[in-house]
Structure 1
């Protein structure tokens, strides 16, 4: 009996040792903690449903920069969301897509997404995990089908290995793909501009930045609330509808005339590097945006009360505001190698 017990025990030990050293065994994931900047509100993204891991983030990054998510292989997510433009569309009014198409809007920057519960200029997507499905399947953006994308990924041994590392098996499905993309995009946190350093007591504003901050708090902060520099609301800021694009903004989602020409208040973080401006990129530079509020607002039934009487700005005030807005540029974010194209 003792001899049998000894042999059985040795067998179990050998089996355990084989499993431990099995090169095909699935390795545990490496958790990554999400750092909430001091003084910021709690994120709204539910990390319990999609915990950050090194493996998931790496997979999401590969997907984000992979043109195979588009029909012709030329339009990865990064084609419209470029790091040097705070992951927005730089130097184009309207974003470019498949077959030389132009999209309806200027792609908004991707930053601090853990604090957003709605996405796109009109809030038409209500969860970050769902957001990639819209551009992938839009005929003038990436113009692909989800089934085709998944089949491309399944045929790639590297992807099968990465999905296994991130999720425990080779299964490649829509949920896993979009969760990996979310994990990568959630790491796009911009919170280290000069403004942030001043708020942390690590730097001080120069005189134009300080004067600009005072003007900002008087004339801009009602909509562009710190620290995100947006209140995430939808407002008609007196921008008339483009006769060709016929974009009615939030109303396209709600079908409510009260939402006509309302678009989400954009964040001002990294604003100086993310031109063009406005939902359709009609403003070439920040000075044009400021002049719109000073003299260009067109009032209509849904124009926001905060801007219907315009926001008077002298040339001096514009200059000081631009100095402050420049202090919202986060160079560390724009040059973060962990976010950069491989």
Structure 2
């Protein structure tokens, strides 16, 4: 069980006791809330910041603009991030969930700490286009923020550390671990795969788990999946400076994949059928192509249907529809 369990659905958000509880089929997280004590006030502050477009340079874009709850906090309506002054970024906005288990963030792994991850979006010229000091000045002079910081941290002092800690109190408890797949893995009463889903799961384990490892459906590694013979985006090599990382990107989680399109780092595919066809026939012999994809992943039409049936069991509707995470 964790903070957003189904039997709490009728309780108003302000009445919920905010907590971070690990689903029983998950390992221990990487992020430790002991140094950022989770409270209702801190969570509510983080959520307000997450959805406040006034934090951006032209007051048009919030974190929630590119991370939409109905898309599992991905960006359904844009291939790439869409920021201030109608600026188009170069990469697809990844979904936000189970972040407390990640040790690095973004497609290239360029940030190593969950608490500092919002700084990229805040300062990127094609996202929020501002800086943390400008945001702090705004917060200090804008009600109800000073009182909210006092409720969350015991002081009206507003600084970068507290801003980032409050963001993390919201983002860190975005736990998605209550899909049909999870319930089957936990052997919950009355829940089982259909024959098609079970066949799809068997196929998935045979063909996909070397990259999309359970239970997060990513191994958090960086790989080239042969989208292009020569990538137009240098990928992880921008961070490491290594030629061997050119054109490699973090393996994305397949949880909630039914709702997190467009797919790939550049959002080029709009459907799961396009994704599966890429692996079936479209893999390019890129210089750093992952060896496991040398021959692609061959799937006939019935196998594709079975894989898709299984992938849809990774949808966590309770997470996507939980009003605790919604903008007020």
Bucket of the pairwise TM-score, normalised by the shorter protein: over 0.9
The alpha-carbon deviation at position 301 of structure 1 amounts to 2.2
Alignment of 1:20-99 (within 5 A): 32-99=18-85
Q: Which moved more, 1:227-236 or 1:144-153?
A: 144-153
1:174-209 deviation line (CA, Å, top 9, x unaligned): 110011000100111001111111112220011111
Larger radius of gyration: 1
1:257-300 deviation line (CA, Å, top 9, x unaligned): 00011100000000011110000001111111111111101112
Q: Using the alignment, how far apart are the partners of 2:31 and 2:177 within structure 1?
A: 17
1:34-66 deviation line (CA, Å, top 9, x unaligned): 201112111000222212111110100000000
TM-score (norm 1): 0.89
When residues 31 and 196 of structure 1 are mapped into structure 2, their CA distance, relative to the original with a 3 A threshold, is closer
C-alpha contact (below 8 Å) 2:245/2:288 kept by paired residues: yes
C-alpha contact (below 8 Å) 1:212/1:322 kept by paired residues: yes
1:110 to 96, 105, 112: 96
Which residue of structure 1 aligns with residue 215 of structure 2?
227
3-state SS in 2 of match to 1:306: helix
C-alpha contact (below 8 Å) 1:86/1:109 kept by paired residues: yes
C-alpha contact (below 8 Å) 2:230/2:286 kept by paired residues: no
Alignment of 1:297-316 (within 5 A): 297-316=283-302
3-state SS in 2 of match to 1:273: coil
C-alpha contact (below 8 Å) 2:229/2:284 kept by paired residues: no
Across the two proteins, how many residue pairs are aligned to each other? 311
1:212 pairs with 2:190: no
Q: Using the alignment, how far apart are the partners of 1:113 and 1:226 within structure 2?
A: 15
1:263 pairs with 2:245: no
Moved over 6 A (4+): none
Q: Using the alignment, how far apart are the partners of 1:39 and 1:269 within structure 2?
A: 14
Unpaired runs of 5+ residues, structure 2, are 1-15
C-alpha contact (below 8 Å) 1:235/1:304 kept by paired residues: yes
1:341 pairs with 2:327: yes
3-state SS in 2 of match to 1:311: coil
The alpha-carbon deviation at position 241 of structure 1 amounts to 6.7
C-alpha contact (below 8 Å) 1:241/1:261 kept by paired residues: no
The alpha-carbon deviation at position 33 of structure 1 amounts to 3.5
When residues 126 and 241 of structure 1 are mapped into structure 2, their CA distance, relative to the original with a 3 A threshold, is farther
The alpha-carbon deviation at position 97 of structure 1 amounts to 0.8
1:77-119 deviation line (CA, Å, top 9, x unaligned): 0000000110011032112111111011110000000100100
Q: Using the alignment, how far apart are the partners of 2:168 and 2:202 within structure 1?
A: 36
Unpaired runs of 5+ residues, structure 1, are 1-29
